[in-house]
Structure 1
Amino acid sequence: MTELHLWLRHEDRATERRTSIVPSDARRLVADGVRLTVEESPQRIFPVEEYEAVGCRTAPAASWVSAPEDAVVLGLKELPARPDGLAHRHIFFGHAYKRQPGAADLLGRFAAGGGALFDLEYLVDDKGRRLAAFGFWAGYLGAALAVLRHRGRLPVPLTPTGRQELDETLRSAAGDEEFTALVVGALGRSGRGARAGFAAAGVDPTCWDIDETRDLDRRALLDHDVMVNAVLATSPVPPFLRETDLDDPARRLRTLCDVTCDVGSPLNVLPVYDRTTEWAEPVRRLREDPPLDLIAIDNLPSLLPKESSTDFSAALLPQLLDFPAGGPWARCLDRFHQASEEFRRV
C-alpha cells in the first residue's frame, strides 16, 4: 500500500487561525504511518513546533506548490490566486459547486493542472450528513456577535479569543434591555450552536426549521429584534428576506447575522446583500430608517480557533486514516467530476 503523504498548508487568508489537523491528531496520523508535512504559518493557532514534536516534517509557508506530486494538500479556506494550474489532490472547502463567485475560476485551475478537489463540504456519509464540520461554532459565534452588536458591545476589529472569555462578554449587564431573537435552521449544527450562543447570553430564541419556513410567516420574522440565519439550502427556496421587507416601516428587525454566507449563490436565502463583512469591519448598515445591521463573516469559527479546530480535527481524523479508500472520499471525488463536467459545458 502506498504511503499517504499529507501536506498541511498555511492558510492564505490573514484572519484564518484554524487548522484542519491539530497536533494531538497529527501524532495519531504519524503513528499510523502517514507522512505529514506541516507548513510554517504565522497565524495558525498551534505553532509548528508542536507538530514537529509529534513527528511531522516542516516546510516553509506556501511551499505546497512544489510538493511531491503524490502529496495530498490539506487546508480549509481558499487557495491563493497562483498557480494557474492545480496539479495536486486538494482537501479544503472549495465553495465552487453552487455557482458561487469564483467557482468557474477554481474549477478551471483544476482542469488546467490535472488535479482534483475533495471538497470538505461534500465529505458526507451515505445519508448525506457531513462527517466533519465547523457548523456548531459558526452558529455559536453568529449568535454571540449578534447579541454583542445589539447590546452595543461588539468590539472592532474582531480578534480571536477563547470560549470562556467570550462567554464572559455575553453575560447580561446592568442597562441591557431584553430583546427577541430568532434562529432559522435551528435543528442543524449551526442552529444548535446559535441556540447555545443565545443561551450563554441569557436569551431564549424563537426556533424555526423546515416546518416553520415551508410556509414562511414573514411578518413574524420581521417582528423579532435579532435574527440568525443558519440554513444551508441545497435546492432553491423562496428568500426569507427581500428588499421590500427591509423597507417595511413596521419592521422590528434590527440585527441580522447570516452564518451561512451564501452571497452570490442562486441558493442564497438572504439575497439582500452583495458582499460579506470582515473582522476589521464586522457590521454593515443595510438600512438607516428603521436601522438594520448585517453581520456576514464567512470564517466565524476562526474567532474561536482552538475550540473549533480541535472539534473539527477529531471528526476529520478517522476519515483521513481511511483516505482515499472510504466511500465518503469517493463521493467527494464524484461530486468534483460532476461539477467539472458542468463547468466544461458552460
Structure 2
Amino acid sequence: MTELHLWLRHEARSTERRTPIVPDDARRLVESGARLTVEESPQRIFPVAEYEAVGARVAPAGSWTSAPPDTVVLGLKELPEDPGELTHRHIFFGHAYKEQPGAADLLRRFSSGGGALLDLEYLADDEGRRLAAFGHWAGYLGAALAVLQHRGRLTAPLRPTDKDALDDTLRPLPGDEDFTALVVGALGRSGRGARAAFGTAGVDPTCWDLAQTRDLDRASLLGHDVMVNAVLATSPVPPFLRERDLDDPARRLRTLSDVTCDVGSPLNVLPVYDRTTEWNEPVRRLRKEPPLDLIAIDNLPSLLPRESSADFSRALLPLLLEFDVNPAWARCLARFRQACAELGPDEGAEHRG
C-alpha cells in the first residue's frame, strides 16, 4: 500500500472509551507499511503503551491539529469545537448528512479548511450495506438497559463493564414479573443485538421490521411494556410515536429505548423527545402517570468498550489496509462532497481528496 499516515486521536467526549483500532490490528497496520500515531488517552480502553509496543508513535492528546497535511485522522465521535477550520482528512461518525443539529457547521469547518470527512456511517459496499459498524452492541445495550430499568435494577451513573458481568445482571431473578417487549428494526444489526439481550434476560420479544412498520399498528405498539427502536431510517417515514400517543389512556408502554437517536433530524421516527440522555442520567421520564421512561444514549457500545472495539476494528482493518484502492472510501468522499454542495454556493470550497 502507498504509505498511509494514520493518526488515532483522543476522544473529546469523556464517556467515550472505545477505539476504532485495537492494538492487535494496529500491529497489522504497522507491518503493512503504514505509519501510525496514537494520541495519549486516559479513557481509551486500551492503554497507549500497547500501541507503542506494536510500533506506533505516541503523541499528546489533541495534537492531531498540527499533524502533517497528508495525515488521515481517525476517531469515532464528535470533534472538539476548535480549530474552526479542518484541514485534514478525518474518519469518524460525523452525523452530518441528515440535517442533525450542528451538521451544517461541521461541514462548513471542512469547507473552509479544505479537509474532508470520510464518515464511517457511509463506509458501505456498492449496495449500501455498512462495512464496519457498532450496531450489534448498540442494540444489545439498548435492550439491556431497558430490561434493567423496567425491572428496577438500572443504577446511575452508568459505568463501562464487560459482557459476562452485564449478562449476570440481565438474567431474571426469582420474583421478577414477566413483561412484553417489542424490537422495531429487528432484522438489522442493532435489532439482532437487541433480540440477543432480551434472550439473555429471558424475554421473547415481538419483532417488527419493514413489513410491520410500513402499515404501523400503533395500538399494538402501545400495548407492549418495553420498546426498543433500532430502525436506521434513510428517508422520512411517519413517526412511530407521537406526542398524543403518550397520552393515550390505553398505553401500556412504560420503557422506551431509542438506539438510533436521530433526535433533531427530519428522519427521526420518535419525535417525542428533544435531547439524548447521558451516562450520569440515563433515564428521562416523559410521562408521570402512567409512567413512561426514555433511554436515548448515543454511544451505547462504549459501555462494553473492549468487545465493541474489537469487533469494529476487525471489520475496519481490511478497509484501512486498502485505503488507496477500496472504492468504499471514494464513495465516502463523494457523499461528503455532495453534502458540501448542498450547503449552497456561498459555502463552496475545493476539497482535497
AA of the residue aligned to 2:174: A
**2:181 aligned with 1:173:** no
AA of the residue aligned to 1:316: L
1:128-166 deviation per Cα after TM superposition (whole angstroms, max 9, x unaligned): 000000000000000000000000000100000000000
**1:324 Cα deviation after fit:** 2.9
Q: Quote the sequence identity (%).
A: 79
Cα distance in 2, alignment partners of residues 36 and 185 from structure 1: 37
Cα distance in 2, alignment partners of residues 155 and 60 from structure 1: 34
**1:249 Cα deviation after fit:** 1.4
1:148-194 deviation per Cα after TM superposition (whole angstroms, max 9, x unaligned): 00000001000000000000000101221000000000000000000
Q: Secondary structure at the match of 1:343?
A: coil
Cα distance in 1, alignment partners of residues 218 and 41 from structure 2: 46
Report the counterpart of residue 103 of structure 1 in structure 2: 103
Report the counterpart of residue 56 of structure 1 in structure 2: 56
Q: Secondary structure at the match of 2:183?
A: strand
**1:232 Cα deviation after fit:** 0.4
| Change in 2 beyond 3 A, CA 1:343/1:257 | same
AA of the residue aligned to 1:78: E
Q: Secondary structure at the match of 1:144?
A: helix
Q: Secondary structure at the match of 1:196?
A: helix
1:48-101 deviation per Cα after TM superposition (whole angstroms, max 9, x unaligned): 000011011110000000001111000000000000000000000000000000
Q: What pairs with 1:1-346 in structure 2 (closer than 5 Å)?
A: 2-345=2-345
Q: Secondary structure at the match of 2:311?
A: helix
**1:345 Cα deviation after fit:** 4.8
Cα distance in 2, alignment partners of residues 152 and 236 from structure 1: 35
Cα distance in 2, alignment partners of residues 283 and 2 from structure 1: 48
Q: Secondary structure at the match of 1:276?
A: coil
Cα distance in 2, alignment partners of residues 263 and 324 from structure 1: 35
Cα distance in 2, alignment partners of residues 63 and 155 from structure 1: 36
AA of the residue aligned to 2:127: K
1:203-242 deviation per Cα after TM superposition (whole angstroms, max 9, x unaligned): 0000000001100000000000000000000000000000
Cα distance in 1, alignment partners of residues 185 and 250 from structure 2: 24
Cα distance in 2, alignment partners of residues 57 and 170 from structure 1: 41
Q: Structure 1: state its 5+ residue gaps.
A: none
Cα distance in 2, alignment partners of residues 60 and 26 from structure 1: 18
Cα distance in 1, alignment partners of residues 279 and 142 from structure 2: 13
Q: Secondary structure at the match of 2:344?
A: helix
Q: Structure 2: state its 5+ residue gaps.
A: 347-353
Cα distance in 2, alignment partners of residues 63 and 9 from structure 1: 8
1:296-317 deviation per Cα after TM superposition (whole angstroms, max 9, x unaligned): 0000000000000000000000
Q: Secondary structure at the match of 2:38?
A: strand
| Change in 2 beyond 3 A, CA 1:205/1:345 | farther
Cα distance in 1, alignment partners of residues 22 and 114 from structure 2: 29
Cα distance in 2, alignment partners of residues 314 and 263 from structure 1: 29
What is the RMSD computed on CA atoms of the aligned residues? 0.8
AA of the residue aligned to 1:164: D
| Change in 2 beyond 3 A, CA 1:345/1:194 | farther
Q: Secondary structure at the match of 1:192?
A: helix
Residue correspondences, number: 346
Q: TM-score, normalised by structure 2?
A: 0.97
Cα distance in 2, alignment partners of residues 89 and 153 from structure 1: 43
**1:2 Cα deviation after fit:** 4.0
Q: TM-score, normalised by structure 1?
A: 0.99
Cα distance in 2, alignment partners of residues 77 and 113 from structure 1: 20
Cα distance in 2, alignment partners of residues 251 and 157 from structure 1: 29
Cα distance in 2, alignment partners of residues 302 and 200 from structure 1: 20
AA of the residue aligned to 1:21: I
Cα distance in 2, alignment partners of residues 46 and 97 from structure 1: 31
